[in-house]
Amino acid sequence: MELVDIGDFFASGYYNEHFIGFLKYNSLASDKIFILNDYGDDDKIGAFYKSTMTLREFVKNALQNKGTMNKFKRGVYSFIDLKTFFPLVHEQLKSLNRCVEGQGKWIVYPLFVVARQLYETCLRLDPIIMKSCGGSNNGKKICQEMWEDCGRDIHRSFTLCLNDRNPYMPDNRKYGVYMFANLEFQIYHRLHNKDMIGNLIKVLESRINVGVTTLNELPSLEESLAGEWRSHIVMFNYYMGQYYGCYMNEFGKAVEYLTEALLNCPVDQEYNFDGIVEKILMLLIPFAICSNKVYPNLDYLETRLLKNKKGSQLRVIFDPIIESLRCGNLQLFDSTFQGLELTFLSNGIYVVMSHIRPLVLLKMVKRYHAVTCETIIPFAQLLIAYRLSKQEQEQEQEKDSLEAQMDQLECSLANLIVGGYIRGYLSHGNRCMVVSKKDPFPRLARRLRK
């Protein structure tokens, strides 16, 4: 058996696989004995060592009692004393946070390992607690408090890295900020706390590319510790894109982040990224339609990115949406929208999908103009096509007068003109729309090809 002095790592400012193994409570099979010799008057390191050893002993005893020593699997959580276990895991991160001040970049990855271990512990305990409480409100309250405690201490780790004032940047803890930000994104999404997500992003963006090199500026995502793993690059860009697209309606900015996330998905490797790619495309497709007025070739995406995954949710949602956009079929769009409202809400794309409807109306107007070649288009003529495109159920329930229907159509056309989709103007008195003789409909949407 080999003795490993934990104090040596703090004294020398480095870590290795033995130190990482010491931090993980599920890595008990080892020929190492972890000790802490006298480390001066620093009680913080002593408290950290004690909390970690207490956690390891607790898990070891639980495994021995169950007869599954050195085989820490998911099922072990079901018989561990949860009231004792979570506080031990929680205390380990709190005690390590106290040791971080004064340490260099070397501490960032070990700190992330402990923070991620706390997050994964909460992830495992959540369904067990809910099951033990029968899905009651009390169980939800316990889980929420657990996640809030988890988020609070991981945010403390984030802050310790963010506010490092070490002027020697190669040894600055800002190197690990994005790793902890990714953990916080996941926690705040579980808590459905949009405000905390927004505050976190504001802090990050205030430190990125500030224009001059200062101690406050963060390294780029690719230059940070997160840049060593594609999964972290994908995760960070996905959550940034989701925030700007789903919460702020800044679709152009969302497209930039989601495109970067998609480009970093290693789809040709053995690791299965299909689920991640599909989640990205679920947001990227409608955001791209609204911001860049482009839509994809789903056959190409299915073949190259989803590895011929037939019957994907993308097909169910976007096949009829893209078809209605291509043909100007409002009835198809409205029926699809109504049937998939819950899906849109659960994926956070309800608002952006509603923004696609004016583009379908625009296509209908363009098709009418292509047939008649008229520069003066009476509302009455457009209203015929407009009403034919609407759902039969709406037509039966519609009791508005012809004038009211024309007013509704005029309002929709006015929005298209203001948005730059149509070059022309409306004549309210003559109840018509006058379009430009030259290029009345700027090219906005196209089908992306290989």
pLDDT score of 388: 66
Task: Considering only residues 43 and 91, tell me which one the structure prediction assigns the higher pLDDT.
Answer: 91
pTM: 0.88
DSSP 76: G
DSSP 295: E
Q: Where are the beta strands (DSSP E) in 186-290?
A: none
pLDDT score of 61: 84
- Is the pLDDT at 79 greater than 60? The verdict is no
pLDDT score of 71: 47
- Is the pLDDT at 214 greater than 90? The verdict is no
Q: Where in the chain is the domain with CATH 1.10.10.10?
A: 357-447
Tell which phi-psi region holds residue 425, choosing left (phi > 0), alpha (psi between -120 and 50) or beta.
beta
SS3 294: strand
Cα-based distances in Å from 385 to 244, 321, 368, 420: 36, 19, 8, 22
CATH top class, domain 357-447: mainly alpha
Dihedral, CA of residue 392, residue 397, residue 403 and residue 406, to nearest 10: -40
- Is the pLDDT at 136 greater than 70? The verdict is yes
pLDDT score of 448: 45
pLDDT score of 108: 96
Closest to 264 in 3D by CA, of 276, 282, 255: 276
pLDDT band at 404 (very low <50, low <70, confident <90, very high): confident
Supply 128's token pair.
């067990």
pLDDT in tens, 50-59: 999 999 999 8
pLDDT score of 384: 79
Supply 342's token pair.
């819950």
- Is the pLDDT at 319 greater than 80? The verdict is yes
pLDDT band at 138 (very low <50, low <70, confident <90, very high): confident
pLDDT in tens, 162-211: 999 888 888 999 999 999 999 999 999 999 999 999 999 999 998 886 55
- Is the pLDDT at 11 greater than 50? The verdict is yes
> Which residues touch 73 (CB under 8 Å, ≥6 apart)?
none
Determine the average pLDDT of the residues in 264-273: 66
Determine the average pLDDT of the residues in 4-19: 92
Q: Which helix (H) or strand (E) holds 285?
A: helix 274-291
pLDDT score of 295: 86
- Is the pLDDT at 414 greater than 50? The verdict is yes
CA distance 104 to 430: 74
Task: Considering only residues 447 and 386, tell me which one the structure prediction assigns the higher pLDDT.
Answer: 386
pLDDT score of 397: 45
Closest to 86 in 3D by CA, of 55, 65, 47, 49: 55
pLDDT band at 212 (very low <50, low <70, confident <90, very high): very low
pLDDT score of 159: 96
pLDDT score of 389: 60
Average pLDDT, the chain: 85
The percent of residues in the chain predicted with pLDDT above 70, rounded, is 85
Cα-based distances in Å from 108 to 79, 85, 215, 237: 32, 24, 17, 21
Out of 1-5, 136-140, 387-391, least confident range? 387-391
Taking only Cα atoms into account, the Rg of the chain, rounded to an integer number of angstroms, comes to: 29
Determine the average pLDDT of the residues in 91-111: 95
pLDDT in tens, 419-440: 888 999 999 888 899 999 888 9
Closest to 116 in 3D by CA, of 193, 181, 60, 163: 181
